[in-house]
Amino acid sequence: MRKPIPPAKPKKSQYGIDPNLLKKRMAELPGITSVTVKELFPDTPDVIYPSEAGKEAIREATIKSLENVDMSMIKPENSVNICASHHGFTLLGGEAYTEMLKTVRDEIIRRTGCRNVRLRAGVGMRLRETEEYIKAFKLDEYFEGKAKGVAPIDKGIPIETEIGTLYGLNAIYDADFVVHCHNSDVREVHFHRQVDRAVKPFGMSYARAETRSTYHQNLGPRGANFTARAIFNSEFVQKKFAFATFLNMSPAGVVGVVSDNDLYKLNEKLTFDGLKYYGKIITLFGQLSDCIVGLDFPCPVPYVFASGVIYANFVSANVDLFNLESLAPYTWYTESFYGKDGKPLIPEIPPVNPKIKMVIHNYAWSGYPSAFFSTHTPTIVVGREQADLMSRCPMNAKYMDHAVIADTLDAAMEFAYKVTGTDKVLIFDGAAGGINVSESLAKEMLEKAPIVAEKVDNELMPIWLKQRGIDPLALAK
C-alpha cells in the first residue's frame, strides 16, 4: 500500500481554528493510501510545479509567457494595478501564485520603466482573507507598501456597460492600467459551467456587492456570466486593460503560465484546457460508489480540495457539470433551485450527490455559507472548538443544527464506518498531484478511470467543445 500524500499544511487565520488544535490529519488514519492523477489518467500533462525546480519554474514560465505580450502602452510615469483574486493563494500552498504575481511586477518595471506598480487582491465574503495572504507572503514588502486587499463592500465605481450601470471596486481601477492575474483551475464549475472562466473575476473579485450578487442572489449562475463580460467589454475597462497572466492549472498541479493582451483568446485556450484536464477527474468522481467524505484543508467547506477539484464539485457530480444542456447547478449558491426550506422548488431538480453518505469535518474554515451542506449530508465536526467557530460565524449560525460533534477524528471515523456501512473514504485535503483515499476506493477509481477516459475523449469532449463554439484544430494553429 502506497503511503498517503502529505496534505496541505494548515494556515493561521481568523476564519479557521488555531492550527495547534488540529491533532490529527485524515491522511494519518489506518487504511488510507493515495492514487496519483497520472496513474488514473496517463495522458495527464507534466507539471512545472510542484517540481524539483520549485518556485523558479514559475518565474521562468511567467517571463517566457510575457515575451510576446505588448506592454508599450505603459509609460514610466503611469500607474499599474496588478489585480489578483484570493483563490489563487489557496492553490498548492499559494507559493506558485505569489511567485507569478511577483514576476509580473518585476517584468513590468524592467520592460516599461514604470515603478508605480501596485497589487490589488480581491476577495469574496471573507473580507480580510487577502490581507492575511499579503502579510503571510510578505507581498506588502515586495510591492513596497503598495499591496492592498479589496473587498466587495469597499468604495465602488460606476461602470457604464451595454446592459446598464454596473459597479466595480474603485481600488481596482484607480490606476492608469490594470493587469489581470488569475488562475485557470475550474473551481466553481458547478457555478459558471466553464463559460467565460477567464473573464469571471471582473464580475466577482473586482466588483462591488451590488454587481457581484448577480451570481449569489439575483440572476443565478447560468444567467450571471454575462455581467462579467459586460464589465470587461465596457469602454472604461477596455481603456485600462493592458494584459492578462494566468497560472494554467490541471488536477496534478501547474501545467504552465499563459499571458496575452487578448483576454478572449486566452479564455478560449483556458476553456479548452480546463475541459481536457478536469473533465476526466470530475466525471470519474461522478461514477464513484457510496463513500465517506473527509474535509481537511484550510478553506471554507465548499472550497476544500482533492486532485484540484473542490468539494462543492463533488456535491454536484451526479450531473454532468460541463454539459450546458444538463440541469443547471443546484447548490446553495442560488435561490433559483432551493427554497428557504432547503427543498428543491420543482421535482425535476435532482438531489445533491447521493453517493455522499457522511461528511467528516476534520479541518475546514468558516466565512462562507455552508449550512446547505450539513443540512443535506450527515456531518460530524471534530472538536468543540471547530463547532464553536462555525456557530460564531454569521453565515453559518445553523451549520451545527444539522451536525454532531466528535471529540476525536478516530471516534468520528468509527461512528461513520458503523452508520454508513462503507469503508470507502475520499479525503479533500489538498494532496498535491493525487488523492488520499481508502484502499477500497483507490481500487475502484483505478478500475473505472480507463472507462471514464475513453468516454470523455470520444463522447463528452466533442459535446462540451461544440456547446462553447470551440474548434480544437483552430486552437492548435
Residue-wise pLDDT for 46-57, tens only, equals: 999 999 999 999
Q: What is the pLDDT of residue 155?
A: 97
Q: Are 99 and 257 in contact (CB under 8 A)?
A: no
pLDDT exceeds 70 at position 328: no
Q: Quick one: pLDDT band at residue 84, thresholds 50, 70, 90?
A: very high
SS (H, E, C) 166-204: EEEECCCCCCCEEEEEEECCCCCHHHHCCCCCCCHHHHC
Can you give the pLDDT at residue 334? 43
Contact criterion met (CB below 8 Å) for 31 and 438: yes
Q: What is the pLDDT of residue 335?
A: 43
Per-residue pLDDT tens over the stretch 436-454: 999 999 999 999 999 999 9
* Arithmetic mean of pLDDT, 297-318: 93
The reported pLDDT for the residue numbered 220 is 54
How many DSSP H helices and E strands does the chain contain? 17, 17
As beta bridge partners, residue 147 has 119
Q: Do 85 and 201 meet the contact criterion of CB atoms below 8 Å apart?
A: yes
Give strand pairing partners of 259. Answer: 245
CATH-assigned architecture of domain 55-276: 3-Layer(aba) Sandwich (3.40)
How far is C-alpha 399 from the geometric centre of its chain's CA atoms? 22
Start-to-end CA distance of the chain, whole Å, equals 44
Q: How confident is the model at residue 223 (pLDDT cuts 50, 70, 90)?
A: low
State the chain's mean pLDDT as an integer. 92
Mean pLDDT of 420-427: 98
pLDDT at 329 over 80: no
For residue 329, whether the previous peptide bond is cis, meaning omega lies within 30 degrees of 0, is no
- Enumerate the domain spans of the chain: 19-42+282-454, 55-276
* pLDDT one-digit tens code per residue, 121-177: 999 888 899 999 999 999 999 999 999 999 999 999 999 999 999 999 999 999 999
pLDDT band at 423 (very low <50, low <70, confident <90, very high): very high
Q: Is the pLDDT of residue 217 over 90?
A: no
| Selected residue with higher pLDDT from 325 and 4 | 4
Q: Average of pLDDT values for 72-89?
A: 97
Find the range with the poorest average confidence among 2-16, 130-144, 187-201, 459-473.
Answer: 187-201
Pairing between strand 156-161 and 253-260? unpaired
Buried b (16+ CB within 10 A) or exposed e, 309-348: bbbbbbbbbbbbbbebeeebbbbbbbebbbeeeeeeeeee
Q: Which residues fall within 8 angstroms of residue 117, CB to CB, at 6 or more apart?
A: 79, 80, 82, 105, 108, 109, 143, 146
- Is the distance from CB of 243 to CB of 179 less than 8 angstroms? yes
Give the global pTM.
0.94
- Distance between CA 19 and CA 16 in Å, rounded? 8
Q: What is the pLDDT of residue 235?
A: 98
Q: pLDDT at residue 321 above 90?
A: no
- The tens digit of pLDDT for each residue in 260-276 reads 999 999 999 999 999 99
